[in-house]
Amino acid sequence: MSSSASTDSNQTSMHTIGLVHSPFIEKFGVPRQPGLVEGNIGQIELLKPWNREEALQGLDGFSHIWVVFIFHQAIKPIEDWRPTVRPPREGAKRQGVFATRSPYRPNPIGMSVLPYHGWEKKNGKLFLNVSGLDLIDQTPIIDIKPYLPYADSLPEAVGGFAHNAPESSQFEVLFSATAIQQIQQVKETYPHLTQLITSTLKHNPRPVHFGNIKKRKNFGLKLYEFNIQWQLENDHISVLSLDVKS
């Protein structure tokens, strides 16, 4: 994003202060909200000149952070903007864009509350350790704020058509002998991979238009450097293999 000052009162410029390192390489399979998928661990790399340790002073006292980001794969020309979208929860029914968290917005800005696990320096770079991501790898970050329980947690709030958390699918996730062997080979590097695959598939990453149809169909899910090949059976999901992406 541009870092220069804007003279137009209807526009403003922002800085990309960091980039996300996430197991989710593409939109398909990304959790629809933060915290839904288990085993989902990542980092936020702070970029220069915002990668100063002083900027994180006091943050270790917080368990969660607000992460404000850009939907960088959903940027469209202003003339393509539409006032309604089809949120996954509503299937084919359209809702006003301001009643949803759709990435297709007048300004492609999103926000997520993520568990914060401290920061570390590696090879001269500064990283924040987070989990529960609903962000694609390399998502630009434009701000980080502490989550304040007394102000940000509102148990009496009403969630409209999305009041309750989405339920996991009823499909059991089974792994083929090939997939189990491949996971064992990378277990040291990716100790939570089985949990991540299972939890992601349990939350039904299929497109909404598939509905509850239980067709036998092959899909691919990209996590880290793997292209997870899986198949929907009548009563379960079969993880076939973990092909390395070319």
In the structure, what pLDDT confidence band is assigned to residue 116 with cuts at 50, 70 and 90? very high
pLDDT at 3: 42
Which two tokens mark 31? Answer: 């959790």
pLDDT at 6: 45
In the structure, what pLDDT confidence band is assigned to residue 213 with cuts at 50, 70 and 90? low
- Give the mean pLDDT of 41-48: 97
Beta strands in the chain (DSSP E): 18-21, 41-46, 64-70, 84-85, 95-96, 109-122, 125-131, 140-146, 172-175, 217-223, 226-232, 236-244
Residues 34, 38: Cα–Cα separation, whole Å: 10
Average pLDDT across the chain, whole number: 87
SS3 label, residue 11: coil
In the structure, what pLDDT confidence band is assigned to residue 236 with cuts at 50, 70 and 90? confident
pLDDT at 235: 77
In the structure, what pLDDT confidence band is assigned to residue 2 with cuts at 50, 70 and 90? very low
pTM of the model: 0.84
Reported as a single tens digit per residue, the pLDDT across 129-185 is 999 999 999 999 999 999 999 999 988 888 887 767 666 666 789 999 999 999 999
Q: Decide if pLDDT at 12 tops 70.
A: yes
Residues 31, 197: Cα–Cα separation, whole Å: 12
Which two tokens mark 97? Answer: 């864009």
Reported as a single tens digit per residue, the pLDDT across 49-91 is 999 999 999 999 999 999 999 999 888 888 888 899 887 766 6
Residue % of the chain over a pLDDT of 70:
85
pLDDT at 207: 59
- Higher local confidence (pLDDT), 34 or 228: 228
Domains, the chain, with CATH or none: 18-152 (2.40.30.70), 167-244 (3.30.2310.20)
